[in-house]
Amino acid sequence: MTYPENLHIIHLESVDSTNDYIKRNYRTLSSRFPVMVRADLQTSGRGRHDREWMSPRGGGLYTSFGFLLNNQRNLGLLPLVAGVSLVEILNCQGDENFRIKWPNDILYNQRKVAGILTETIIFGDRLTCICGIGVNVNQIQSDFPPHLQERAISLNIIHGHPFPIDNFSRELARSFFKWVEKVELGDSALITDKINHLSFHSKGDHISFHNGERTITGIFSRIESDGGLILQTEGGENSYYSGEIKMEKA
């Protein structure tokens, strides 16, 4: 695949969710893959675990990439490389404090600035990936609801000026598909090094981790080449592929 010259871009004024738009229009869109669907606002923006992703007009970047992945083995790396592509751009804007919190969040000084929602559709042996990215771009602090006041931040708040969302989305597409290409080529050592380098947690951090109904405490070891989180627990070293690390220290 060559990116992003053949990228089909759809810019919508309003949509329920850019991820859902790709799913609904899968039959027509799949012949045009890779696609980038971007909306100025989402009426039902979704986050992980069925959470709402607030998506007011002018506030953020709401975009989803739809494409085929040639190798299912690398699926676990997708949200992480989406994070890498985003952090690479954000760290180039004069402040290098953006980090990836495994597996789907982008933090700036412990506050969430972006989130990633990766979904898949399998038709026969074709694996379609939908990678939705939401970035808080132009919000001011009072735009966030009370329960997010201490936990969310935008690029506007960080840099002290608003950002043109158009330029940002083009850069993101370029960076995102550059990293997807590395995933397809199986460049796993380079990818894993990069993810660990940009990880919010580092080796030796005591963390508390929600995995379904369970809360597990342990010591963060690393992120593996298949995207798994390696945690040192009382029972030894374990790999986890989904869940959420709590922000407070264990």
With CB under 6 A as the contact rule, which of the stretches 38-46, 93-101, 142-150, 192-200 interacts with ligand BTN?
Answer: 38-46
What's the CA gap between 130 and 222, in Å, rounded? 26
Question: From the CB of 204, what's the least distance to ligand BTN, in Å?
Answer: 26
> Contacts with ligand BTN: how many residues (CB under 6 A)?
21
Q: Which residue, 116 or 129, is less far from ligand BTN as judged by CB?
A: 116
Q: Closer to ligand BTN at the Cβ: 15 or 221? A: 15
Q: How far is the CB of 60 from ligand BTN (least distance, A)?
A: 7
Q: Determine, following the binding rule CB under 6 A, whether residue 103 of this chain makes contact with ligand BTN.
A: no
Taking CB under 6 A as the rule, does residue 104 contact ligand BTN? yes
87 contacts ligand BTN (rule: CB under 6 A): no
Report DSSP state, residue 228: P
- HSE value, Cβ hemisphere, 13 Å, CA-based, for 24: 8
Q: Where are the alpha helices (DSSP H) in 57-147?
A: 78-90
With helix as H, strand as E and coil as C, how does 142-176 read? HHCCHHHCCCECCHHHHHCCCCCHHHHHHHHHHHH
Is 100 a binding residue for ligand BTN by CB under 6 A? The answer is no
Which of 149, 66, 152 lies closest to 109 in space, CA to CA?
152
C-alpha dist (Å) from residue 24 to 6, 34, 36, 45, 173: 22, 16, 14, 15, 22
Task: Single out the residue of 8, 41, 47, 243 in contact with ligand BTN (rule: CB under 6 A).
Answer: 47
Residues that bind ligand BTN (CB under 6 A): 17-19, 42, 45-48, 51, 53, 62-64, 104-105, 115-117, 132-134
